[in-house]
Amino acid sequence: MCAEQVERPQLATRRGEQVGEVAHPLDVGHAHGPSLPRHRPHLAVAAEGRRLAVPVAPRTEGALRLPGQRVEQRAPARSCSAAASARCAAASSWWPRQSSSSPREAALCAGARVADVGCGSGLGAVRLAQNFPAVTVVGYDLHAPNVARATAAAEAAGVADRVRFVVADAADGLPERYDVVTTFDVVHDAVNPLRLMRSVHDALVPGGVHLCLEINCSDRPEDNVGPVAALLYGFSVVYCMTASLAQGGDGLGTLGLPESRLRELGLRAGFAEVRRVDIDNPFNSLYTLRRADRTTT
């Protein structure tokens, strides 16, 4: 059955009662007309019922868990323990490991200036400050409640003297210069990803590094299949792609920034080097984008 012929799903209550029709992913594309041709493969994969039907176990202590011990995900992601994946998706699980093997560790230990763009509730910024007592971190986020929670988290962790948070749109430019700028699952959500990456590039000192964590995906929609891909496409249609399109943005979506596209954007933004870093995380890809050591004229 082709995606255009799939039946529209019904919204059900917890008791399984059908209470109304859910907006269909393909309707999002049709609503935007011919201006959205490149999103149709994305929407079609999300719309196919067999790929959206991800079974879940009953809630236990407030947690929604996938059934069984392992979740099988086809290329590019690997099969993994659902619980382990949730842990390693957080910055706290891979940041110390990555930093300890990086040539930038000396700079961090010496007191690097770091910006965390799209900082959310501050997990990454606080963890970084805890592992490198000499660094200073500024977190930027559009959402004031996130900044309030992040500020409280820094105070609770005892690092508020070196970590602060600001409500701001980083795509408009950052007011300071930094040795490192981090974005954790942020660029694909941006209204204008290229503009955001140029802002990050311009905020780095010569030789500075943009540490970019994104979803591990392929630029071939037919490769992004399986239960995990279905879940991520669901996130994309409900939030990531839709929120960007609503603001007239590019609408990359959760699975819209594979390595090839990230490299293209990085080079167009002015970075001299884009490298993928090997991490033990089936859901995410980590990249370092380096600004040139000298400013050319």
Q: Return the closest-CA partner of residue 185 out of 285, 265, 296.
A: 285
Does a structural domain hold residue 250?
no
Are residues 14 and 133 located together in one domain of the fold?
no
* pLDDT of 152 over the 60 cut: yes
Query: Which pair of structure tokens corresponds to residue 294?
Result: 């000298």
What span, in angstroms and rounded, lies between the C-alpha atoms of 135 and 116? 12
Are residues 118 and 22 located together in one domain of the fold?
no
Does a structural domain hold residue 200?
yes
* Per-residue pLDDT band at 48 (split at 50, 70, 90): very low
Are residues 20 and 130 located together in one domain of the fold?
no
Are residues 275 and 132 located together in one domain of the fold?
yes
Are residues 44 and 57 located together in one domain of the fold?
yes
What span, in angstroms and rounded, lies between the C-alpha atoms of 286 and 275? 9
Quick: pLDDT tens for 224-266: 888 888 888 998 988 899 889 998 999 999 899 999 999 999 9
Are residues 171 and 61 located together in one domain of the fold?
no
> Please, which residues have CB within 8 angstroms of residue 253's CB and are 6 or more apart in sequence?
39, 42, 188, 233, 236, 237, 240, 241, 244
Q: Return the closest-CA partner of residue 4 out of 39, 40, 58.
A: 40
Are residues 211 and 226 located together in one domain of the fold?
no
Q: Are 211 and 263 in contact (CB under 8 A)?
A: no
pLDDT score for 104: 62
Give the range of the structural domain holding residue 194, as residue numbers without chain letter.
94-217+257-290
User: What is the mean pLDDT of the segment spanning 35-61?
Assistant: 42
Q: 120 — alpha (psi -120 to 50), left (phi > 0) or beta?
A: left
Does a structural domain hold residue 129?
yes
The whole-model pTM stands at 0.69
What span, in angstroms and rounded, lies between the C-alpha atoms of 290 and 74? 31
Does a structural domain hold residue 118?
yes
Which one has a higher pLDDT value, 196 or 278?
196
Are residues 149 and 205 located together in one domain of the fold?
yes
pLDDT score for 103: 58
* Per-residue pLDDT band at 95 (split at 50, 70, 90): low
> Please, which residues have CB within 8 angstroms of residue 23's CB and are 6 or more apart in sequence?
none
Does a structural domain hold residue 244?
no
Are residues 136 and 281 located together in one domain of the fold?
yes
State the total domains in the chain: 2
Are residues 198 and 71 located together in one domain of the fold?
no
Q: For helices 91-100 and 82-89, what crossing angle results, to 10°?
A: 60
Are residues 145 and 266 located together in one domain of the fold?
yes
Quick: pLDDT tens for 2-22: 333 334 333 333 333 333 333
Q: What residue type is assigned to position 172 of the chain? A: D
Does a structural domain hold residue 240?
no
Are residues 80 and 118 located together in one domain of the fold?
no
pLDDT score for 80: 35
Does a structural domain hold residue 245?
no
Domain of residue 139, CATH code:
3.40.50.150
Does a structural domain hold residue 236?
no
